[in-house]
Amino acid sequence: MGGHVLLIEDEPNIIEAIRFILSREGWRVHTHSDGRSAVDVVRERAPDVLILDVMLPGRSGYDILRDLRGDPATAGLKVLMLTARGQNRDREMAEQVGVNMFMTKPFSNAEVLEAVRTLSAP
């Protein structure tokens, strides 16, 4: 197993938890916490899977994903979106901008691991 995951999240506890569970399973995990520079970091890192928080400092995950989907170089990137707000409206907005999977906080370690495995499958 394994591959490269980029986690764009600004909550330190969530960063550490996700980094731990994925690293333990053989994934290389890089993290970033600023919405303003997130698109550039995705382009630089070229991850296999992106885990993207909705509420970030500087820019929302929805805006970031919209930019990624509009760029041929990142349009096909597999994206798991995380949010503390799990209302239908939030899920619909994520789907409109092209998310692959959507997960509401709090989530279990097993849910995150299974989502990353699913997204990275050929």
User: For 45-85, how does the pLDDT look when each residue is reduced to its tens digit (9 = 90+)?
Assistant: 999 999 999 999 999 999 999 999 999 999 999 999 999 87
Overall domain count for the chain: 1
Residue (of 60, 56, 68, 1) closest to 32 by Cα position: 56
pLDDT digits (tens, 9 = 90+) for 29-48: 999 999 999 999 999 999 99
Cα–Cα dist 103/101, whole Å: 7
Binned at pLDDT 50, 70 and 90, residue 1 comes out as low
Residues of the domain holding 10: 3-120
Domain containing residue 18: CATH number: 3.40.50.2300
SS percent in the chain: helix, strand, coil, step 5? 45, 20, 35
Cα–Cα dist 114/65, whole Å: 21
Helix segments in 5-104, DSSP class H: 12-24, 38-45, 61-70, 88-96
